[in-house]
Structure 1
Amino acid sequence: MAAPRAVIVHRASELTELLARHGTRGQVAFFLDERGESLAAVAERHERTRAALADVAAGLPPDWRRASVERQELPRFVFEPDDVVFVVGQDGLVANAAKYLDAQPVIGIDPLPGVNAGVLVPHTPATGAALAEPVRAGAATLCARTMVEVRTDDGQALTALNEVMIGQSGHQSARYTLDVGGRDERQSSSGVIVSTGTGSTGWCRSIARIQAPRLELPAPTERALAWFVREPWPSPSTGAELVAGRLDGGTLRLRVASDALVAFGDGMEADRLTLTWGQRVTVGIAARVLRTVTGAVS
């Protein structure tokens, strides 16, 4: 029987990305100084993240297999069914990884406490690594977070942890017919967003505050979604009556009426579905969930 595998998910630091762009620390320092930023602050975050990754690796059981994957490599990485996934980074990195997982437990680790919100990365490097054995032994507490799924009439599908966005890739007006809750309306808007309870603690909470402050947003484990239409334009041929609501087990449907729309999840527009004129799209609760590890059974 193969030893368990720990997969550490991370993303390139600001310093790594700046060095790739500018070549040397001196050039990076000049670039940042010109914009009123400090190389020292960027370097400190880089070192703290490196230290967190090293601490996680050092704290794993010595007999476990190891793998590491950077955020941009996620679409090409093959997760194994029995992997235990350690996400070291900001909350959004958990969402980025979620769409490529299928029931593997996720331990979210915050390398920069006080910088990140920590909703999905509540553990320190030490406490996160210490959860490896309880997870293997089935002695960990898990949160089954609802996910959202987009399906097209030609068989394409995409899932997300926080929300999916359907609109124009260039953020121009998207035209479509919206069908939800037994009502339909032809619309022209900045796009349609469908959020889970996890997503309702982030971007969609901001949208709801302005657009539907009385809408009861779902909880992370609730089998329900919230939907919003961004900036619908009322015209002689388009309406703006359907702007927000909940999906308690139902679905939201669109029929595309633009040359090309896109659907993507959790801000990863590069990994998207392209939707063409007349295509039908259904958005609803995904069959699978994301299992995040909250702690060990006491």
Structure 2
Amino acid sequence: MDSSRLRIISLLLLLLHFLFINLSIIESAPERKLFREYIGAEDKNVRFSDVPINPDVDFHFLLSFAIDYTNTASPSPTNGDFRVYWDSANLSPSQVSAIKAKHSNVKISMSLAGDTVNGKHNVYFNPTSVNTWVANAIHSITQIVDQYDLDGIDIDYEHFVSDPDTFAECIGKLLFYLKQNQIVLFTSIAPYDDDSVKPYYLALWRKYGHLIDYVNFQFYAYPKGTSVSQFLKYFDTQSSNYYRGKILVSFGTDGSGGLSPENGFFKACSSLSKEGKLHGIFIWSADDSKKANFKYERQSQDFLASQ
């Protein structure tokens, strides 16, 4: 074998060696944990910059909410014509740009629907047809995503007139289009354990779960005084319902139910983390946390960064 061929072989072996080292580094790098927070629903003049952001976690703000609603009747959908209902004065496109420029680990989603409009009128899912709703939703949501430079979308419908299959088809086709055309990077749903809600999200998960990156399960919708053991059982139940989904654990800072930080939330998180089940934490909401100077946001992110 001549010397030039030996040099080529030696060079290839050296390249393979460095490639193997780089792949080993990538594979051994720990997965960063995710922290998410809803913001803007209650118009309490909370800004992105008010909320503490730990650089060692992935941080998602969820703008609350874009709503398909008109006040002409009740229930009163606009058939997929979503409009911004969050505090757009303090959470504007320029402020989205500023917080993302300042913190490279921050991404911003918008959440669809929510519970009520201004705490008065329920937000219903009640399309006239699947195709019309999907076409209108794609158009209106794409406009909002472009205007605000958003990264993701969250589904938080809580009141329904249509059947579960219609909900699954409408939302599933919307998510497919948004991801297929790279309009959003990631998607999530925000179900909770109520018989009026559960069938809709389970129908969506069964058919389109592969399009959903995170399940923002509302554990704060369980009764106040939930214990650590009860919380862990609830988590296992929802992990079974949303099989192979990334279930995020949660609590509310609005005095709602579930397992609070004072009563063992982080103890439950430690148990889940040891079992490799803790994918992230989300809080409802920044609007309510301001009065306590966001102490639970700091605690949650510090905990995640330590895992």
What interval of TM-score do these two structures reach, taking the shorter chain for normalisation? under 0.3
Q: TM-score w.r.t. structure 2 length?
A: 0.27
Which has a greater percent of helix? 2
Q: TM-score w.r.t. structure 1 length?
A: 0.28
Which has a greater percent of strand? 1
